[in-house]
Amino acid sequence: MAAPKKGRRPAGAQGRPGRTLVLFLIAMVALAGGMFASGHKTPRLGIDLAGGTSITLKAKAEPGQEKAINKANMDTAVSIMNRRVNGLGVSEAEVQTQGDRNIIVNIPKGTNSEQARQQVGTTAKLYFRPVLTVAAGTPTKPAPSTTPSPSASKGADKNGDKNKPSSTPSANPSSKSTPQGRALTDGLKADGKPSPKTTPPGTPKPGSTPGTTPPTPSGNDAAAVAKLQKDFESLDCSTKESRAKAAFGSKATDTIAACSQTGDAKYILGPAEIEGTDVKKAKAVIDQQRGMWIVQMDFTGKGSKKFQSITGKLSKQQSPQNQFAIALDGQVVSAPSVSQTLSGSAEISGSFNQRSATDLANVLSYGALPLSFEEQSVTTVTAALGADQLHAGLIAGAIGLALVIIYLVLYYRGLALVAIMSLVVSAILTYVIMALLGPAIGFALNLPAVCGAIVAIGITADSFIVYFERIRDEIREGRTLRPAVERAWPRARRTIMVSDFVSFLAAAVLFIVTVGKVQGFAFTLGLTTLLDVVVVFLFTKPVMTLLARKKFFANGHSWSGLDPQRLGAKPPLRRSRRTPAAPTDPKEA
Amino acid sequence: MSRLGHLGARLYRGEVGYDFVGKRKIWYGISILITITAIVGLAVRGLTMGIEFEGGAVFTTPKTSATVAQAEDVAQRASGHDAIVQKLGNKGLRIQISGIDTNKSDAIKTELSKELKVPAEDINADLVGPSWGDQIANKAWTGLIVFMILVVIYLAIAFEWRMALAALVALIHDITITVGVYALVGFEVTPGTVIGLLTILGYSLYDTVVVFDGLKEGQRGLTKQTRFTYSEMANKSLNGTLVRSINTTVVALLPVAGLLFIGGGVLGAGMLNDISLSLFVGLAAGAYSSIFIATPLVADLKERDPQMKALKKRVLAKRAAAVAKGETDEPQDAEPQDEAEAETAGAVVGQRRQPSRNNRGKRR
């Protein structure tokens, strides 16, 4: 060993590497263990690698309501869309917001993507419709007594035939315990007056005068009415799909036969009296006095007038015609009964729990969303192409890694060992974290993300190069390896931090402002940049310190990559000494 | 390799070197020329925008016996628009139809599958509405501008405003060149290209930052000596970090080359190819600019600083005095006096280290 010229490094700095390294490796093993324990051994694959359909929608605000595109509204839209897509029997479809105004719908391979596209492509419609008839959610033989005449109001002349024949009745009437469901037990009353004595929900008000009420059928609608009646009778609400189809796409002015969302009741509903946009806001709250969940809603100015008039009419009706149905996409979410004329703000009470109250409030708020959605891109990838792309990505990664390793070995020789170990550690960490992020935050590895990971090989290796070159500079100054490794570190560390920070900044900005594929790329790049810092600090540096104690490196073996002679180190400043006796073989390679 | 290592040592000590800063006018000229070419190319030829920016559909079939002409015919009949058909590496077809509505695509897909005798579920479809590309492009611009502002602020704090400015110029330079290459060669611009372009942001700066870091170190205590002007110091530290810059660039380019090879050669076209192509061009431009443009620019700006002006005066005065005394110690151009400089080299290095050593003492 050469003269330890500047041996004033605090010994402590070199005493810790072993511990750091062990702790780091334990953390790594723990992470990997977590991965195996969680059962997610591979990263979740994106649509472009696994196959499937991916739809990107862009929110458009109604004119004059540009502020409507905000996080709360987008989240509501996502939850409604989720309900629609998954309600269609499309399993595992995934709906998420992306950026500030996009919604991505990913539909895995093997589900009916066309139908799903239709579902998410059309705007959800929320209407308040008066209930004309109620029955259990299965095909009925005799019509309930109250029925006879579905609406004859303004829309009646063009209604009936708009209703497509509903799905084939299924032979097994599902005998649900509560045929009339939650919807019917909901009561509606004026907000702020929680008078417990109001009519029990669903019960006709004793004093109401049935005579003034039901719409009278006009002659020319008879056929339409009969048809609707038939539809209603055969309507089967037992499956998700049939429920969704029952009144899907119906117009506001139609009289429709519809299912309740839970499938336990079906209704004939009159033309819409109030639109979703008439609702200003809705929220689920606990009524302190009664200790139960209720949904409060406020109407807009126009909405309150309509609401006042409809509740005025309905409150005089017999059950079930004193109810109105809140129908989203033709499915009845709730059908509270009305016992008095109500104005601008109202509350719906009934047998809600937190979840159902929140659901209803969401539906009501969504109806108030002044948003519509536009299809931006639709990508369908077959499983075969997805697999091909994944393969290609992996091969490209392998080639890239191999090239980098070859270059490092040729140039840095023994030092390359440190670099390769660090790269491998980085790769393992990246893989494990990606696998864990799948279930944790819904991270899905897509092609750009694979690209990002490959590009990151370069970034990670660059950090080692910065450090190695620093060490070599120190050796050229005539230092021996141990002090060189320690002296080079603070400077290399600063360079690495600054440049990694810039990389990370780029990735973060990209991630925040961009959408779609760019985001996946930015995410991986940011992740790997962070991991790069972690690995260099907690792995590469300690390993370097440990290796500096090994003879092979410390003596500057010609294959160590640290041979002072090859590096052209000046002879140590004390002119008496020559460079350490490395196996002299200077001509080699 | 050992030769290279040796060269590294000689570069490090300043025994050999290229006068990047001194010859900066040449490189500025070259860069301006390239930039003008790029801008003219962009103005005259424009960018070839991919389907993602125009709106339309791309269908990819698996291996099929149908010919390109056949597919073109079918696609045009089915859509009523022009179709571009390419044969892919795996014998599949890539059929690109611009200007169609997203909701017409299912019909076209069915038609294609019937005529080309490929099951519909085996056809990949990529449908893009006309405003999608605009949205991506808008976001990319926003990202670009936000990033530039943030990074200039950061570099101004971490280094100084002159370096931040030079880095920004280098960055714009890289992006202009990359975009220019796209315009001139006529590569198609896709979201993948945009991703690549945006990644250059971080990456081109990585190189620049590594070089600036060396520069910052070199300028410590610079005004306390009279041997070098700022430009000379800048050139020296640039040469000192040259090996590092080359290595980091090569190592960054290698994986991208792997991507390009696989993406372009094996898959034929697609995201991998698009990202890696723009990255490759951008990275190469980035390496060039951080050495030939960014550092000389910093030197130029620095020489305008009164302190540095004074330093230059002192240095020149000292040299003049030395010449008058008949001494041979006149370090001006790096090349002619490699030998002459050799003996002073040790002293030079010592000087550069001195301040940082003090610094270390303080830190510990």
Averaging pLDDT over each range in A122-131, B172-181, B339-348, which range is the top one?
B172-181
Q: Is pLDDT larger for residue A169 or for residue B130?
A: B130
Of B90, B132, B360, the CB nearest to A376: B132
Please say if the pLDDT value at position B316 is more than 80: yes
Pair A271, A255: CB distance under 8 Å: yes
Contact B201 A506 (CB under 8 A): yes
Residue B73 neighbours by CB under 8 Å, 6+ apart = none
Nearest CA in chain A to B59: A380
What is the rounded average pLDDT of the residues B137-147? 82
Nearest CA in chain B to A118: B103
> Rg for chain A (alpha carbons), in Å?
35
Contact A490 B363 (CB under 8 A): yes
Contact B349 A477 (CB under 8 A): yes
Instruction: Kindly report, residue by residue over B43-84, the tens digit of the pLDDT.
Output: 888 887 777 777 778 887 777 777 778 778 877 777 777 777
Res. B270 pLDDT band, cuts 50 70 90: low
Which pLDDT score, from 0 to 100, does residue B241 have?
80
Res. B266 pLDDT band, cuts 50 70 90: low
Q: Give the minimum alpha-carbon distance from B222 to chain A in angstroms, rounded to a whole number.
A: 19
Q: Which of B182, B152, B150 is nearest to B37 (CA)?
A: B182
Half-sphere exposure (CA, 13 Å, Cβ side) for A37?
6
- Distance CA(A184)–CA(A188), nearest Å, equals 11
- Is the link from the previous residue into A320 a cis peptide, with omega within 30 of 0? yes
- Distance CA(B335)–CA(B348), nearest Å, equals 16
- Distance CA(A317)–CA(A323), nearest Å, equals 8
Contact A385 B139 (CB under 8 A): no
| Chain B neighbors of A376, CB-CB under 8 A | 128-129, 131-132, 135
- Strands (DSSP E) contained in B129-205 are 188-189
Residue-by-residue pLDDT tens, chain A, 589 positions: 344 444 444 444 445 778 888 888 888 888 888 888 887 788 888 777 877 888 888 887 766 667 777 777 787 778 777 766 665 554 567 777 777 778 888 877 766 666 666 666 665 677 888 888 888 776 655 444 443 334 333 333 333 343 434 333 433 443 333 333 333 344 555 444 333 333 334 333 333 333 333 444 444 567 777 777 777 777 777 776 677 666 666 667 778 888 887 777 888 888 888 877 777 777 788 888 878 888 888 888 888 888 888 888 877 777 777 888 888 777 787 888 777 777 777 888 777 787 778 777 777 776 666 677 777 778 777 777 778 778 888 888 888 888 888 988 888 888 888 888 899 899 889 889 888 887 777 777 888 888 888 888 888 888 888 888 888 888 887 788 888 888 888 888 888 888 888 888 888 888 877 766 677 788 888 899 999 999 998 888 888 888 888 777 777 676 676 776 666 665 554 444 444 444 444 443 3
Q: Which of B351, B354, B10 is nearest to A476 (CA)?
A: B10
Which pLDDT score, from 0 to 100, does residue A199 have?
35
Which pLDDT score, from 0 to 100, does residue A123 have?
59
- Distance CA(B5)–CA(B12), nearest Å, equals 10
CATH number for A52-115 (one of 3.10.180.10, 3.90.1150.10, 3.30.70.3400, 3.30.420.10): it is 3.30.70.3400
Helix (H, G, I), strand (E, B) or coil at B21: coil
- Distance CA(B225)–CA(A564), nearest Å, equals 30
Which pLDDT score, from 0 to 100, does residue B94 have?
78
pTM of the model: 0.67
- Distance CA(A437)–CA(A435), nearest Å, equals 6
What is the rounded average pLDDT of the residues B195-214? 79
Contact A490 B360 (CB under 8 A): yes
| Chain A neighbors of B346, CB-CB under 8 A | 570
- Distance CA(B164)–CA(B302), nearest Å, equals 12
CATH architecture, domain defined by A18-46+382-567: Up-down Bundle (1.20)
**Amino acid in position B84:** I
Mean pLDDT rounded to a whole number for chain B: 76
Question: What HEC string does A73-124 produce?
Answer: HHHHHHHHHHHHHHHCCCCCCEEEEECCCEEEEEEECCCCHHHHHHHHHCCC
Contact B9 A567 (CB under 8 A): yes
What is the rounded average pLDDT of the residues B231-247? 82
Residue A173, sorted as left (phi over 0), alpha (psi -120 to 50) or beta, turns out to be: beta
Interface A-B, measured as beta-carbon pairs within 8 A, has a size of 273
- Is the confidence metric ipTM above 0.85 for this complex? no
Residue percentage of chain B with pLDDT more than 90: 0
Which pLDDT score, from 0 to 100, does residue B340 have?
39
Structural domains for chain B: 9-49+132-306 (1.20.1640.10), 56-128 (3.30.70.600)
Q: Which of B201, B196, B174, B203 is nearest to B38 (CA)?
A: B174
For chain A, which residues make up each domain, given as ranges? 18-46+382-567, 52-115, 127-350
Q: Give the minimum alpha-carbon distance from B28 to chain A in angstroms, rounded to a whole number.
A: 25
Which pLDDT score, from 0 to 100, does residue A587 have?
40
Q: Is pLDDT larger for residue B233 or for residue A320?
A: B233
Pair A134, A144: CB distance under 8 Å: yes
DSSP string for B90-119: TS-EEEEEES--GGGHHHHHHHHHHHTT--
Two structure tokens written together for A380: 């369908």
